[in-house]
Amino acid sequence: MTKTLFIIIAICVLFVQDIYAQQNNSTTGKIVKIGLLISNNKSIAARNGAEMAIGIANKKEGSDGLYFQLIVRSMEGPWGTGSNEAVNLVFKEKVWAIMGSHDARNAHLVEQVISKTGVVFLSAWATDPTLSQAFIPWYFSCVPNDIQQAGALIEEIYNKRKIIEIATVSDEDYDSKLALQTLLKEIKIAGKAEPKQLFYDSSNTDFKILFDEINKAGVNSIILFGKPSASFSFIQQLRQKKLNLPVYGALSLLGESEFDDLELVYFDNITLVTSGNWFESKKLSFKNEFQEKYGKIPDAVAAYAFDGMNLIIEAVRNSGVNREKIQEAMSKMHYKGVTGSIQFDEKGNRMGPFGLIEIKNGIPVTVEK
């Protein structure tokens, strides 16, 4: 964050301090606003997942008489827009909590805002482990971070499958590079053989040179990091080249794509890290209701947004609509969601265990441990 942007936030905080203090302890309002920050206006999966959670909550109105309202803001625009939108949500919209479904850089900007305001921020997609290392008590994450995902990949590939000759394939995106660096660090800590590192430009969908490098490297497995659209192109061309190597990937591969027709079926036979399988039989009501409401199956972004919003709603109901108590309720949460059981450690990280799913015919299937 730039020094100027930090000063602007600080001024906003001081300017509305008295109003904010009055609202912080108010319990008379029945409408509870919850903010949702998304990457851009095309990011509909998180919006749909959050809307569905709020719709269900409002149908099950309890004796507290609370009615939840979703306030959505896009972080698209010049650098710093994320901070501005977070500030607007807190002071203009007067939300009681914020959920984010976006990249790590924007998550850090939001974290700066909540550190000055004491509003709960739940990340439902960013996996940067340094977000929790700032020790901000209002920060929580319902997705496995890069360290946790690296552990699941190492356990499956190195320990269970006994695969040694591995290549990592990554684009130059900030989140991808951070996830790769984390994996390499964890591999070194575990005393495993370092994989060969290969990179590609996501703006170029011709992977011929990259495939030549993979062939020369003589590897027998690939760990893939990157945006969904480019990753799909890579996997599609990999199959066309008859390079039948097992491919593993981070959860980010299931992120929302700019192409509406990108479905899970395109990732068939790819193994990915996750906290749980939202297609398990006992959770089919979520899948079926989502599909009936929005005309498509829920992807990972929608599933984590659904769980994230339900976590916030549950915390608000348990807190009596008080910001300090919302934070306390979140820290004590033990919630069974469609992405698995959710509890937080002292830093706000989601606690494990974490495992893997393999995409088969467009459906995530849990990989047995």
CATH number of the domain within which 261 lies: 3.40.50.2300
- Residue 238: pLDDT over 60: yes
Structural domain count of the chain: 2
| Contact of 142 with 124, CB cutoff 8 Å | yes
- CA nearest 356: which of 180, 185, 153? 153
Q: Are residues 295 and 238 in the same domain?
A: no
- The pLDDT tens digits for 246-300 are 999 999 998 876 554 456 677 788 999 999 888 886 677 898 999 999 998 898 9
CB burial readout 19-51, b (16+ within 10 A) else e:
ebeeeeeeeeeeebebbbbbbeeebbbbbbbbb
- For residue 67, the enclosing domain spans 3-143+283-342
How far CA 135 is from CA of 33, 99, 124, 126, 223, in Å, comes to 26, 18, 18, 16, 31
Q: Alpha-carbon dihedral of residues 140, 142, 143, 146, nearest 10 degrees?
A: 30
Reported as a pLDDT band with limits 50, 70 and 90, residue 18 is very low
Per-residue pLDDT, averaged over 218-233, amounts to 91
Same structural domain, 161 and 249: yes
75 and 7 in a common domain: yes
> pLDDT tier at 27 (50, 70, 90 boundaries)?
very low
Indicate if 89 and 54 belong to the same structural domain.
yes
323 pLDDT above the threshold of 60: yes
Any domain includes 347? no
pLDDT, greater one: 364 or 283:
364
Residue 369's pLDDT band, with cuts at 50, 70 and 90, is confident
Residues 115 and 13 in one domain: yes
Q: Is residue 366 part of a domain?
A: no
Query: Is 350 domain-assigned?
Result: no
In a domain, 348, yes or no: no
pLDDT single digits (tens) 59-104: 875 557 899 999 999 999 988 899 999 999 999 999 999 999 999 9
**Within this chain, do residues 167 and 82 fall inside the same structural domain, yes or no?**
no
The model scores a pTM over 0.85: yes
Structural domain includes residue 122: yes
Residues 35 and 69 in one domain: yes
Name the helix (H) or strand (E) containing 332: none
Average pLDDT over residues 291-314: 94
In this structure, are 49 and 138 located in the same domain?
Answer: yes
Q: What is the mean pLDDT of residues 183-210?
A: 93
Do 19 and 110 lie in a common domain? yes
Q: Does residue 138 share a domain with residue 176?
A: no
Among candidate residues 202, 192, 241, the one with its CA nearest the CA of residue 224? 202
User: Is 367 contained in some domain?
Assistant: no
Average pLDDT, the chain: 88
Q: Judge whether 114 lies within some domain.
A: yes
Is residue 354, in this structure, part of any structural domain at all? Answer: no
